[in-house]
Structure 1
Amino acid sequence: MDTAQAAEMLGISKSTLDKKRCEGRGPRYIKLGSRVFYRQEDLDAYIAASVVETEDSRATAA
């Protein structure tokens, strides 16, 4: 998917996703010429890696 679609899926603006990419942050991407694409599995992995454990979530997992 393109940057606009990926940003929508992540709930952020396209410019925020562009900025993260330029800073070497954010989800993995594919660059073909001047075009940038994101794979669904890379966005899913990025979201999964962003999960923050809390005391309450650790207690319910035990």
Structure 2
Amino acid sequence: MHSQETIHLTPARLSERWSVTVGHLANQRSEGSGPPYLKLGGRILYRLSDVETYEERSLVAGARA
């Protein structure tokens, strides 16, 4: 059985994806908001699957005319 490799994003990559600053992501982490993250040996990493889940949960349906 072959397992899929987990894709991780650095704060710099996630900031590019969302067009926000790395500082904004740091603020989210300190406030306990934003997607879950890993802290490994002082490095912060976000699992792409967690980011996508967070994005789905943040989706706001537009008003219908």
TM-score normalized with structure 2 length: 0.77
1:14-47 deviation per Cα after TM superposition (whole angstroms, max 9, x unaligned): 1001100110000111111211001111111111
Structure 1 residue 49: deviation in Å? 0.7
Q: 1:18 and 1:33 mapped to 2: Cα distance?
A: 17
2:26 aligned to which of 15, 18, 41: 18
Corresponding position: 1:49 with 2:52: no
Q: 2:21 and 2:11 mapped to 1: Cα distance?
A: 9
TM-score normalized with structure 1 length: 0.80
Q: Structure 1 segments of 4 or more deviating over 4 A? A: none
1:37 aligned to which of 24, 35, 45: 45
Tell me the number of residue pairs that the alignment of Structure 1 and Structure 2 aligns. Answer: 57
Flag structure 2 segments of 5+ consecutive residues without an equivalent.
Answer: 1-8
Q: Which has the higher helix share?
A: 1
Residue 27 of structure 1 corresponds to 35
Identity %: 35
Cα RMSD (Å) of the superposition?
A: 1.4
